[in-house]
Amino acid sequence: AGNRRRYTVRQLDDMLGLNTQKELGAVARRGLVIGYCRVSSSGQKADLERQAEVVANYCEKQRYQFRIIKDIGSGMNYKKKGLQELLRLVCEGGCSKIVVNYKD
Backbone phi and psi for residue 85, each to the nearest 5 degrees, phi listed first: -65, -45
d(CA 48, CA 38): 6
The C-alpha atoms of residue 54 and residue 100 are separated, in whole angstroms, by: 9
The C-alpha atoms of residue 1 and residue 5 are separated, in whole angstroms, by 9
Does 41 qualify as catalytic in the annotation? no
Cα–Cα distance, 55 to 59 (Å, whole number): 6
- 12-69 pLDDT, tens digit per residue, is 767 666 654 444 444 445 679 999 999 999 999 999 999 999 999 999 999 999 999 9
Going from the N-terminus, what domains does the chain have, and what CATH number goes with each? 1-30 (no CATH), 31-99 (3.40.50.1390)
Count other C-beta atoms under 10 Å from residue 10's C-beta: 14
Of residues 40, 41, 42, 74, which has the active-site annotation?
A: 40
Q: Which residues pair with 38 in a beta bridge?
A: 71
**pLDDT tens digits, one per residue of 64-103:** 999 999 999 988 888 899 999 999 888 888 899 999 998 8
